[in-house]
Amino acid sequence: MIELAMVPVFLPLATFGVLAVLWPLRHSGMPAAWLSVASALASCVAAILAWTGAPVAGEPAQGMVFDWLVHDGKTIAEVGFRLDAISAPMLVVVTFVAACVQVYSLGYMAHEPRPALGRYFAWHSLFIVAMSGMVLAPNMLQFLACWELVGLCSYLLIGFYWDKPSAGRAAVKAVWVTRFADIGLMSGVVLLYVTTGGFAFEMTGDSGAATLVAALLFCGVMGKSAQVPLHVWLPDAMEGPTPVSALLHAATMVAAGVFLVVRAWPIFEAAPPVLTAMTWIGAVTALVAACTALVQHDIKKVLAYSTCSQLGYMVAALGTGSFFGGYFHLTTHAFFKALLFLAAGSVIHAVGTNDLREMGGLAKKTKLTAGLFILGALALAGVPPLSGFFSKDLVLEELLHAHAYGPLLICLAAAGLTAFYMTRVVCMAFLGPASARSLEAHESPPVMLLPMGALALTAAVAGFTTGRFGNDVALAPWHFAVTAPGVAALLLALGGIALAYMKYGQGKLAGLGVPALAAFIRSGPVDGLFVRGWQQGLRPLAGVVGWVDRYVVDGAVNLFGWAALVGSERMRVLQSGKLRDATYLLVMGALVVVAWGAIGGVR
Amino acid sequence: MTAWILFVLVAFGTLVSAVMVVRTADLVRAVLWLAASLVATAGLYALLDAGFLAAMQLLLYTGGIITLMLFAVMLVRRGPEAPTAGLIANPGRALTASLAVFGLVAFTVAEAGLPTEPGAGGSPSAKLLGQVLLGPLALPFEALSVLLLAAMVGAIALARRKDPEE
Amino acid sequence: MNGPPLEAWLALSAALFAVGLFGVLTRKNLVAILLGVELMANAANLNMVALGHFRGTPFGQAAALFSIALTVAEVVVGLAIVVLLARTHKSVDADAPSEMQG
Amino acid sequence: MPWLSITVLAPLLAAAILLLVPSSSRGTTRVLSAAASLVSLWGAIEVSLAYNLHEGGLQLRETLPLVPSLGINWDLAVDGWGVSLLLLTGLILFAGVFATWTLDDRDKDFYILLLTLVAGVLGVFVSLDLFVFFLFYEIAVLPMYLLIGIWGSTKKIEIKGPFAFALRRLDVGGREYAAMKLTLMLLIGSAFILVGIFALYQGGGARDFGMLHLAEHPLSREAQLWVFPALWLGFGSLAGVFPFHTWSPDGHASAPTAVSMLHAGVLMKLGAFGVMRVGMVLCPEGAVAWAPIVGAVAVINVVYGALGAMSQTDLKYVIAYSSVSHMGVVMLGAATLDTDGWNGAVFQMFAHGLMTGLFFALVGLVYGRAHDREIFRMGGFAKAMPGVAVFFTLAGLSSLGMPGFAGFIAEFLVFLGAWRSGNVVWALAGIVGAWVTAVYVLRAVRAIFWGEGPPERYHHLSDAKGTEWVALVLLGGCLIVFGCWPRLVLDAIDVGTSMHLPVVLQAVKPELAL
Nearest Cα residue to D273 out of D136, D399, D400:
D136
- Binary contact (C25, A576; C-beta < 8 A): no
Chain A with chain B: Cβ pairs closer than 8 A? 19
Nearest-CA distance from B87 to chain A in Å? 12
Mean pLDDT along residues C91-95: 70
Query: What would the DSSP string read from start to end of D65-87?
Result: EEETTTTEEEEEEE-HHHHHHHH
Q: Using one digit for the tens of pLDDT, what is the confidence trace for A412-440?
A: 888 888 888 888 888 888 887 777 777 77
Minimum-distance CB partner of A557 among D157, D181, D420: D181
pLDDT at position B83, please? 44
* Closest in B14, B110, B151 to C16, CB measured: B14
Are D209 and D285 in contact, with CB atoms under 8 Å apart?
no
pLDDT at residue D347 is higher than 90: yes
What does each C-alpha distance from D79 to D47, D50, D407, D495 come to in angstroms? 10, 12, 23, 8
- The pLDDT tens digits for D92-150 are 998 888 888 777 778 888 889 999 999 999 999 999 999 999 999 999 988 989 988 88
Taking an 8 Å cut-off on Cβ atoms, the answer to whether A584 and B94 are in contact is yes
One-letter amino acid identity for A343?
Answer: A
Does A533 lie at the interface with D, CB-CB under 8 angstroms? no
CA distance B104 to chain A (A): 7
- Predicted local distance difference test score (pLDDT) of residue B86: 43
pLDDT at C99: 66
Nearest to D457 by CA among D384, D359, D348: D384
Assess contact for C42 and B38: CB atoms under 8 A: yes
Cβ contacts of A98 within 8 Å, gap of 6 or more: A40, A43, A44, A124, A127, A128, A131, A247, A252
- Is the separation of the CB atoms in D349 and D266 below 8 Å? no
> Which whole number is the average pLDDT over D3-20?
89
Interchain contact, A566 vs D169, CB within 8 Å: yes
Give percent of chain A with pLDDT exceeding 90.
Answer: 12
**In this complex, is the C-beta atom of C75 within 8 Å of any C-beta atom belonging to chain A?**
no
**pLDDT of the residue at B85:** 43
pLDDT over 90 (residue D464) = no
**SS3 of D374, please?**
strand
CA-nearest of A142, A126, A131 to A259 is: A131
How many Cα atoms occupy the beta-carbon half-sphere of C32 within 13 Å? 33
Instruction: Give me the phi and psi of A58, to 5 degrees please.
Output: 75, -160
When the pLDDT of each residue in chain D is averaged and rounded to a whole number, the result is 87
Closest residue on chain C to B139 (Cα): C66
Facing C24 at nearest CB: one of A577, A578, A583: A583
Name the more confident of D228 and D153.
D228
Tell me the angle at which helices D487-505 and D80-99 cross, rounded to the nearest 10 degrees.
130
What integer pLDDT is reported at residue A59 of this predicted model? 66
Asked whether the beta carbons of residue B104 and residue A594 sit closer than 8 angstroms, the reply is: yes
Contact by Cβ (8 Å): D341, D334: yes
Contact call for B97 and A588, based on CB within 8 A: yes
At D58 the three-state DSSP class reads coil
- State whether B100 and A591 contact (CB < 8 Å): yes
pLDDT of residue B52 exceeding 80, the answer is yes
Nearest Cα of chain A lies from the Cα of C28 at a distance, in angstroms, of: 8
Q: What is the pLDDT of residue A465?
A: 67
A68 phi and psi angles, rounded to 5 deg: -105, -55
Per-residue pLDDT, D330: 93
Cβ under 8 Å to A: D residues 95-154:
none
In a mutational test of the B interface, the residue from C17, C61, C77 whose CB has the highest number of chain B CBs within 10 Å is C61
Residues in A closer than 8 angstroms to D383, CB to CB, are 163
Q: Which of A313-317, A468-472, B94-98, C10-14 has the lowest mean pLDDT?
A: A468-472
**Which chain A residue has its CA at the smallest distance from C27's CA?**
A580
Domain at C6-88: CATH architecture: Orthogonal Bundle (1.10)
Residue B87 with chain C: CB contacts under 8 Å: 26-28
Mean pLDDT of chain C: 83
Cβ-based neighbour number of residue D198 at 10 Å? 16
Say which of B93, B116, B147 has its CB closest to residue C6.
Answer: B116
Residue spans of beta strands (DSSP E) within A547-599: none
User: Nearest-CA residue of chain C relative to A584?
Assistant: C25
Distance from CA of C100 to the nearest CA of B (A): 18
Mean per-residue pLDDT, A228-236: 85
Q: Using a pLDDT cut of 70, give the percent of chain D over it.
A: 98
* Domain residue spans of chain D: 3-157+169-512
* Closest of B141, B118, B136 to residue B49, by C-alpha: B118
CB D204 within 8 A of CB D214: yes
Interface test with A, best of B90, B98, B101, B105 (most A CBs within 10 A): B101
CB contact under 8 A, A602 and B108: yes
Q: Predicted confidence band at A37 (pLDDT cuts at 50, 70, 90)?
A: very high
Strands A74-83 and D59-67: unpaired
In this complex, the residue of A162, A187, A543 whose CB is nearest that of residue D450 is A162
Residue A62: strand pairing partners: A82
Residue-wise pLDDT for A57-108, tens only, equals 566 777 777 788 878 777 788 888 888 888 888 888 899 999 999 999 988 8
Q: Judge whether residue C22 has pLDDT over 90.
A: no
- At residue D281, does pLDDT exceed 80? yes
| pLDDT at residue D486 is higher than 70 | yes
CA C16 to chain centre: 10
- Residue A236, pLDDT > 90, answer no
Give B87's pLDDT tier (boundaries 50, 70, 90): very low
In chain B, beta strands by DSSP E: none
Contact A576 C98 (CB under 8 A): yes
- The answer to whether residues A125 and A173 touch, using CB atoms and an 8 Å cutoff, is no
- How far away is chain B from the Cα of A598, in angstroms, using its nearest Cα? 7
**A61-71/D59-67 β-pairing:** unpaired
* Coil, helix or strand at residue A21: helix
Three-state secondary-structure class, residue C53:
helix
Q: Three-class SS of residue A49?
A: helix
Report pLDDT digits (tens) over B114-137.
Answer: 665 555 445 567 788 888 888 888
B50-56 average pLDDT score: 85
CA distance D368 to D104: 12
Residue A530 has pLDDT above 80, yes or no: no
Whether the pLDDT of residue B4 is over 80: the answer is: yes
Reported as a single tens digit per residue, the pLDDT across C32-80 is 888 889 899 999 999 888 888 887 778 888 888 889 888 889 888 988 8
Q: What percent of chain D has pLDDT over 90?
A: 37
pLDDT at B84 over 70: no
How does pLDDT run across A324-333, given as a tens digit for each residue?
888 888 888 8
* Contact yes or no for A387/A336 (Cβ under 8 A): yes
Best CA proximity match to D248, nearest among D225, D268, D266, D275: D268
pLDDT given for residue A524 in this prediction: 67
* Cβ-Cβ contacts under 8 Å, C88 against chain B: none
Q: Smallest Cα–Cα separation from D360: which of D96, D33, D112, D145?
A: D96
HSE toward the beta carbon, residue A233, CA cutoff 13 A: 29
A232 CA: distance to closest CA in chain D (Å):
16
Disruptive mutation site among B16, B53, B116 for chain C (greatest number of C CBs within 10 Å): B53
**Binding-face residues of C in 8-37 toward A, CB within 8 A:** 21, 24-25, 28, 33
Q: Give CA D80 to chain center in angstroms.
A: 17
Classify the phi-psi angles of A197: left when phi > 0, otherwise alpha if psi is within -120 to 50, otherwise beta. left
Chains C and B touch (3+ CB pairs under 8 A): yes
As a whole number of angstroms, the distance between CA D263 and CA D29 comes to: 22
Q: What is the C-alpha to C-alpha distance for residues D132 and A591, in angstroms, rounded to an integer?
A: 50
C-beta atoms of B155 and C12 within 8 A: no
Chain B environment of C37 (Cβ under 8 Å): none
Q: Are A205 and A196 in contact (CB under 8 A)?
A: yes
> Cβ separation of A587 and B97 shorter than 8 Å?
yes
Q: Do B50 and C20 touch (CB under 8 A)?
A: no
CB contact under 8 A, B108 and A587: no
Please tell me the predicted confidence (pLDDT) of residue A56.
61
How far is A578 from chain C, CA to nearest CA, in Å?
5
From the CB of residue A57, how many other CB atoms can be counted at a distance below 10 Å?
A: 10
User: In B, residues 137-156, which contact C (CB 8 Å cutoff)?
Assistant: 137, 140, 144, 147-148, 150-152, 154-156
C19 touches chain B (CB under 8 A): yes
Which stretches within chain C are classed as H helix? 6-26, 30-55, 59-89
DSSP state of D458: G
Tell me how far CA of residue B54 lies from CA of B73, C45, C49, C61, in angstroms: 26, 11, 10, 10
The pLDDT of residue A481 is above 70: no
Q: At what angle do helices A579-602 and C6-26 cross, to 10 degrees?
A: 150
CA distance B38 to B54: 10
Interface of C with B in 36-95 (CB under 8 A): 36, 38-39, 42, 45-46, 49-50, 52-59, 61-62, 64-66, 68-77, 79-84, 86-87, 90-93
Per-residue confidence band for A509, with pLDDT thresholds at 50, 70 and 90? low
C-alpha span between D461 and D468 (Å, rounded): 15
Asked if D308 and D250 touch (Cβ cutoff 8 Å), the reply is no
Give the residue from chain A lying closest to D172, CA to CA: A558
Q: Which residues of A touch B93 (CB under 8 A)?
A: 584
Residue of B61, B63, B56 whose CA lies nearest to B133: B56
Subunit contact C29:B31, Cβ cutoff 8 A: no
A158-197 residues touching D, CB cutoff 8 A? 159, 162-163, 165, 168-169, 171-172, 175-176, 179-180, 182-183, 186-187, 190-191, 193-194
pTM, full prediction:
0.82
List beta partners, residue A75: A70
Domain limits, chain C: 6-88
Task: Compute the distance between CA of residue A360 and CA of residue A430 in angstroms, rounded to an integer.
Answer: 5
Residue C21 burial (CB count, 10 A): 27
